[in-house]
Chain A
Amino acid sequence: MADLETQVVVVGGGATGTAVLRDLALRGIDAVLVERADLGTGTSGRWHGLLHSGGRYVVKDPVSATECIEENRVLRRIAPHCVEDTGGLFVLLPDNDQAFGDAFVEACARTGVPCEELRPAQARRREPLLTPRLTRAFAVPDGTMDGWKLIGGFVADARARGARVLVRHPVVGMERDGDRILAVRARDAATGEDRLIGCQWVLNAAGAWAGRVAALAGGELRMAPGKGAMVVMVGRWVRGVVNDCRMPGDGDIIVPVHQVAILGTTDKETDDPDDNSVDPAEVDFMLDSAAELVPAIAGGRVLRAFSGSRPLYKAGDDDAGSRDLTRAFFVLDHGGRGGPGNLLSIVGGKLTTCRQMAERTVDALVARMGLTAPCTTATTPLPGADQGVHRLAEPLATVERQAGYGELVCECELVSRRRIEAAVDQGATDLDDLRRQLRLGFGPCQAAFCGWRAAAIVDERRPGATEPLANLERFLAERWRGQRATTWGDGAVQALLNQAIYRGTFDLAPAGGGRGTA
């Protein structure tokens, strides 16, 4: 006997899973999404924030490039509030293959990615910190995207249309009868109790973790996650996205997003998608690579580094038939692969194309369900779309309009008390969830001043929901994890000053150490 009944269970609360959930909701198909942690905590919360123009792929992967520019336009239309229209440049350096410049221009024309060549002097007027060594520069419609905001928008829209979302409910099993999954067993992480969700279909959108989810259903899926590390700089450094104009490779991009610049990326094969470690050599490599494009960055302060697991899937020969779609992502029907007949896995892809992936996946599902329900996600705006594109100055303008300086809890990211209270009222009590929703503690001081203030507000608003100092200590530990490999110079000063506040003044004890009593 199931605790919940639905038509479709979606596994995974990243960009793909939430886009799928919204797509189902818009087509009137009942669905429940289960996520092992919070929304956007996997790869979708660990990326550089680039809304691809497609320029990165025009030469190497033209199909992806065309998908990117199509979806770039769609997202600007349906979710402009999640997009900052920074524009982007591809910069040809003297050490690059100079023939790549012409190849890039031709490939842009072939794939439909708008591209305008700028004279080097023009490019440097637009990006004053660019290296004077550049030989050619091409402007493309890159932008930046707030992934958490997009995911939040997908979920809000889906919920408004009847979809249900269970976060902190890892899938622990699937109940099968022959080649059908009857129900998904998810465990409430808070209570430890299992919930059985009866369903007709299961969509596995667990990304880099999709192999594990498929295995729970007796399906076979071999993922080959690629770990990509990124480095966060204090300050934006560039006005728009700056790309190294060469074949895609490690350390080829600078993305200005909110108050910071993110340098990306590396690519290492890994067996464990939960491995978020960053090697100091990767940090050095990306900093040195970025300095080729923007020399002054070499003297900048690195805030932290993080890594995410690309949901890479290497198609084998036996996949020829199930390769529904493009080279960029795959929808796999486990029914033809010896697994359950009502399980589809969606693998590969990138955040920019998440909506399109969802569309193709749900199209495939709808056909199998014998329904005819067209996709409308490309034309239906998300809640909040009427705000228009995100502008960098908007948070400050809001604070000034409301004369809300005294309300600021996180000065770096301009997070006000009332926004924290609203998020707590909607169920967020963990400081790390507030970070993703509100950008709390993202700034240069890394929660030196806002961390404990926010812990106090959570406790006032929802007494007893958390132990505030434990909440704070978890948050500080999480913030610190991304900093060890990146902390020297001014960053080291900040780290020791922060420790002087939290350990020195506030007497928080190291893990395992006892706190003093009177």
Chain B
Amino acid sequence: MRADVVVVGAGPAGLATAVALAEAGREVRVIARGNGFTHWAPGAVDVLARAGGRPVDHPSDGLPLLPARHPYRLVGEPLLRRALDRFQLLTAAAGLTYEGSLDANRRQVTALGTLRPTCLLPAPAARPLDGRVAVVGLDGFRDFAPELCARGLRAAGHDASARSVAPPPWGHARHFHAVDVARAVDDPGWRARLADRLGPATRGAGVAVVPAVLGLAGGHQAWADLERRVGVPLVEAALAPPSVPGMRLYQVWLARLRQLGGRLQLGFPVTGVEVADGRVTTVVSEGASRPVATRCAEVVLATGGVAGRGIRAGRDGTLVEEVAGLHVEGFGDRMGFFAEGFLDDHPLGAAGVAVDDQLRPLDAGGAPAPGGLRAVGGLLAAHDPTAEGSREGVALATAARVAELLAPDPSPTKG
């Protein structure tokens, strides 16, 4: 097979890169083991929630506190800002509205009733918690406990109370997941019947907090319709994976990629690259019956860090980059991987591939190698997506940087 650019990985960084390159006029093929953090994270755009060990209220103010090799420092604030603007335009055009800006973090309600800091919020999570808050769950839904959520909101000073409604009749009896509910909500008839139940449960409330399951296929349209029918602002609370808001985003990126002629191969881990004359020529991936070689001019690695399986952590403390065997700074032994507390900053969370300011991987001696290879997103060294709360921001900023580098002459956007 042949492609102009191969992007390895289909998480936020891989998809954002593929779309940005396709918009810049390059022919792109994404090859990935499976879904990435779109399905794991709660569907917001985290840019910078913590820096230097402290919470950050204004991401732009936190950027100078980051280490010099941090991806944001490599790409610069202006490009990060443009990347967020472009993301908001792209998603809005596809029916997903993201609110917020780099200048102030916002708060996303979670199923635990905590308020997680993030930068851009999808509209269904962005309504202010004004007045009395009705937290409404669905009977039999394991992944949202309304009283737990209400309790957390009360602790944060809100006048919140919990109730639960029975889902309208459907085929799932007592065995269903967030995605099942989201698909049911996509059906206008079921949605109307759900609204009939949510109405009484939210009467008199200033706002209602519900699990993030309000539709999957049509962007934010199902949420907006339901809100109109119920007559109370609806706030989607972030749930444990799989993330319906993240899956909406995945669908938008994928649709845009396909619209621009890009391709996605999911379920085929990339196992290696071939190099000739110091330059990558081919990506080798698993195929149905035998390895598949895809010849290409450029490769962008968006395979993630250890969490995304871009890097494998060995029993002896070493770290191995899985696709190209790139240099990754390891640890003396495995006791260095993790901190003492489960919720602490784990050194392994920040492990990754060091790159130059053109996102070219550096070897142990600090020299770029080999040609035609770039790295984006969670794979990059010197940042911890979870501990910093920077996952989607780094993905978008480094994707924008690669698009800029691989399409240096900015031509009008296609599509």
**Which of A484, A492, A518 has a CB less than 8 Å from the CB of B107?**
A518
Number of A-B contacts (CB under 8 A): 168
Closest residue on chain B to residue A496 by CB atoms: B307
Residues of B within 8 A of A503 (CB): 343, 386-387
Roughly how many angstroms separate A469 CA and B314 CA in the complex, as a whole number? 33
Contact of A497 with B315 in the complex, beta carbons under 8 Å: no
Give Cα A515 to B157, complex, Å. Answer: 13
Residue contact B309 to A493, C-beta cutoff 8 Å:
yes
Bound Cα distance from A473 to B349, whole angstroms: 20
Q: How far is the CA of A194 from the CA of B387 in the complex (A)?
A: 44
0/1 string, B314-353, CB within 8 A of A gives 1: 1100000000000000000111011011111110110000
Q: Digit string of A461-487 for contact with B (CB within 8 Å is 1, else 0)?
A: 000000011000100110110011101
CB-nearest residue of chain A relative to B344? A510
A499-B342 contact in complex given A456-B145, A507-B110, C-beta closer than 8 Å: yes
A500 and B176 in contact (CB under 8 A), knowing A459-B147, A493-B307, A518-B157?
no
Given A492-B337, A504-B41, A509-B343, are A456 and B148 neighbors across the interface (CB < 8 Å)? Answer: yes
Contact A511 B341 (CB under 8 A): yes
Give Cα A504 to B387, complex, Å. 7
B262 at the binding interface (Cβ < 8 Å): no
Other-chain contact of B337, A473, A476, A487 (Cβ < 8 Å): A487
With A and B bound together, what is the CA distance between A344 and B393 in angstroms?
66
Answer whether A496 and B349 are a contact pair too, CB < 8 Å, given A504-B41, A516-B116: yes
Residues facing B in A86-144 (CB within 8 A) are none
A224: interface (CB < 8 Å): no
Interface centre among A405, A476, A497, A516 (most CB of B within 10 A): A516
Q: Is B166 an interface residue (CB 8 A)?
A: no
Task: Chain A residues near B337: list those with CB within 8 A.
Answer: 487-488, 492
Question: Does A409 sit at the interface, judged by CB under 8 A?
Answer: yes
Asked whether A506 lies within 8 Å of B110 as measured between CB atoms, the reply is yes
Contact status B307-A497, CB under 8 Å: yes
Chain A min CB distance to B91 (Å): 20
The yes or no answer to A407 lying at the interface (CB within 8 A) is yes
| Given known contacts A406-B176, A510-B341, A516-B55, A284 and B112 CB-to-CB distance under 8 angstroms | no
Which chain A positions have C-beta within 8 A of B107? 516, 518
Per the bound structure, the CA–CA distance linking A517 and B129 in Å amounts to 12
What CA separation (Å) do A417 and B141 show in the bound complex?
12
Please indicate which of the listed interface residues A409, A459, A502, A518 has the most CB atoms of chain B within 10 Å of its own CB.
A518
Given the known inter-chain contacts A492-B337, A493-B309, please indicate yes or no for A505 contacting B41, CB distance below 8 A: yes
Interface check B151, CB cutoff 8 A: yes
Which residues of the partner chain B approach A484 to less than 8 Å between Cβ atoms? 335, 338, 340
In the complex, what distance in Å separates the CA atom of A485 from the CA atom of B338? 9
| Chain A residues touching B, range | 35 or more
A500–B41 Cα distance when bound, in Å, is 8
Q: Is B140 an interface residue (CB 8 A)?
A: yes
Interface presence of B414 (CB below 8 A): no
Give bound CA distance, A484 to B344, whole Å.
Answer: 12
Q: How far is the CB of A31 from chain B (nearest CB, A)?
A: 40
Q: Which of B111, B158, B335, B340 contacts A506 (CB 8 A)?
A: B111
- How many angstroms from the CA of A476 to the CA of B147 in the assembled complex? 21
Given known pairs A407-B174, A453-B145, A505-B116, the reply for A517 and B157 (CB within 8 Å) is: yes
- Does B211 reach chain A (CB closer than 8 Å)? no
CB neighbours (8 Å) of A489 from chain B are: 312-315
Does A319 sit at the interface, judged by CB under 8 A? no
Check A505 against B240 for contact (C-beta < 8 Å). yes
Chain B residue numbers with a CB within 8 Å of A480 are 341-342
For window 26-55 of B, CB contacts with A under 8 Å fall at 37, 40-42, 46, 55
Which B residues from 116 to 133 make CB contacts under 8 A with A?
Answer: 116-117, 129
Q: Which residue of A lies closest to B158 (CB)?
A: A518
Residue of B41, B143, B240 contacting most chain A CB atoms (<10 Å): B240
Q: Report how many residues on chain B are interfacial, defined by Cβ distance under 8 Å.
A: 62
Tell me the nearest residue of chain A to B348, going by C-beta. Answer: A492
Is A455 among interface residues, defined by CB-CB distance under 8 A? Answer: yes
Query: B40 to A500, Cβ gap below 8 A?
Result: yes
A406 touches B110 (CB 8 A): no
Judge whether B306 is part of the interface by a CB distance below 8 angstroms: yes
**Contact partner of A497 among B40, B147, B156, B314, CB < 8 A?**
B40
Cβ contacts A398-434/B at 8 Å (1 or 0 each): 0000010111110000000100000000000000000
Q: Is A370 an interface residue (CB 8 A)?
A: no
B240→A449 contact, CB < 8 A: yes
Q: Which one of B174, B338, B343, B387 lies within 8 Å of A476 (CB-CB)? A: B343
Whether, in the assembled complex, B173 has its beta carbon less than 8 Å from a beta carbon of chain A, the answer is yes
Question: Is A501 close to B, CB under 8 A?
Answer: yes
0 or 1 for each of A432-456: is its CB under 8 Å from B? (1 = yes): 0000000000000000110011011
Task: Please give the distance in Å from A458's CB to the nearest CB on chain B.
Answer: 10
Give Cα distance in the complex from A448 to B41, angstroms. 14
The answer to whether A477 touches B342 (Cβ under 8 A) is: yes
Find the A residue at minimum CB distance from B114: A507
Say yes or no: B338 contacts A495, CB within 8 Å: yes
Complex-state Cα separation, A284 to B317, whole angstroms:
13
B142 engages A406 (CB within 8 Å): yes
Is A508 interfacial (CB 8 A cutoff)?
A: yes
Residues of B contacting A507 with CB < 8 Å?
A: 110, 112, 114-117
Query: Chain B contacts of A403 at CB under 8 A?
Result: 173-175
Question: Does A453 contact B334, Cβ atoms closer than 8 Å?
Answer: no
B238 an interface residue at 8 Å Cβ cutoff? yes
Chain B CB within 10 Å, residue with most, of A459, A479, A505, A516:
A505
| Interface: A514 (CB within 8 A) | yes
CA distance A404 to B127 in the complex (A): 36
Residues of A within 8 A of B349 (CB): 496, 499
Q: Is the CB–CB distance between B112 and A469 below 8 Å?
A: yes
- Please indicate which of the listed interface residues A487, A504, A508 has the most CB atoms of chain B within 10 Å of its own CB: A504
Could you list which residues of chain B lie within 8 angstroms of chain A, going by C-beta atoms? 37, 40-42, 46, 55, 107, 110-112, 114-117, 129, 140, 142-143, 145, 147-148, 151-152, 156-158, 173-176, 238-241, 243, 305-307, 309, 312-315, 333-335, 337-338, 340-346, 348-349, 385-387, 389, 391
Known: A493-B309, A505-B42, A510-B343. 20 other contacts (CB 8 A): A280-B333, A280-B334, A403-B173, A407-B174, A452-B240, A456-B147, A459-B147, A468-B148, A487-B334, A488-B315, A496-B348, A499-B343, A504-B389, A504-B391, A506-B111, A511-B341, A513-B343, A517-B156, A518-B157, A518-B158
| 7 A-B interface contacts by CB (under 8 A) | A484-B340, A485-B335, A500-B40, A500-B307, A505-B241, A508-B112, A515-B114
Q: Which residues of A contact B (CB under 8 A)?
A: 280, 284, 403, 405-409, 417, 448-449, 452-453, 455-457, 459-460, 468-469, 473, 476-477, 479-480, 483-485, 487-489, 492-493, 495-511, 513-518
